Amino acid sequence: MATCGGAFGWVTRRLRKGLPFVAAAVLLAPVIVLAQTQIYDAKTRTWVDYDSKKARQYYARNKQSPEAFRRQIVTFRTAEPPGTIIIDGNQHFLYLVQPGGQAIRYGIGVGRDGFGWAGIVRVGRTAEWPVWTPPAEMVARDANAAKWAAGMPGGPENPLGARALYLYAGDQDTIYRIHGTAEPWTIGLDVSSGCIRLNNDDVTDLHSRVQIGAKVIVLMQGAALYKGI
């Protein structure tokens, strides 16, 4: 078990509260999940909540996310071909399948309660330093989004960060994206309105490796990879 920055050996888990176990993703299904991300504290040998306050504190001290959420090569068994993206929002990981039973694993931030979803989509297009145009639903509920209703230019403060992969179902834009973030401390949390966020270095790396048309599998939050895809 790796130890990062002192007391914590960073391994993640999720606690599900009274929800059925689901092992398969369905096309663009909304998911409401009541779950709590936890981090294993190797010093006390207990699981502790990993919330936005603790994430900010950790990032302020270390200028990076906990080790579990940093980009790394991992052993990964799947029938999906290399180049496929598999997203496990439950554990806050995105896997880019590689040859030889391996994957590149990236830490991610995912949809907060009421904004999770699952499905099989594809990368329809990509962009560098993309313009952010909030959807009408977000403009209606968020005053900060409303001022950018016509589009926020790309740049370091843009919510989409350095790169964006636009997710399509067939030829239709789903409005969901895999993108960077101006808030790197949020990796490992349930924070978004349904999009998948990576830190800017990671999304730049992912963008350089992914082909247009790549298959993207978003697992039902509450499912587990060891049960199969």
Place of tokens 């490796």: 209
Q: Which residue out of 4, 92, 179, 207 is catalytically annotated? A: 179
Is 179 an active-site residue?
yes
Per DSSP, the three-state class of 26 is coil
Which residue, 11, 30, 33, is CA-closest to 222? 33
Place of tokens 């699981």: 47
Q: Which residue out of 4, 92, 195, 207 is catalytically annotated? A: 195
List the beta bridge partners of residue 3.
Answer: 9
Contact 227, 208 (CB under 8 A): no
Contact 179, 196 (CB under 8 A): yes
Please list the active-site residues: 179, 195
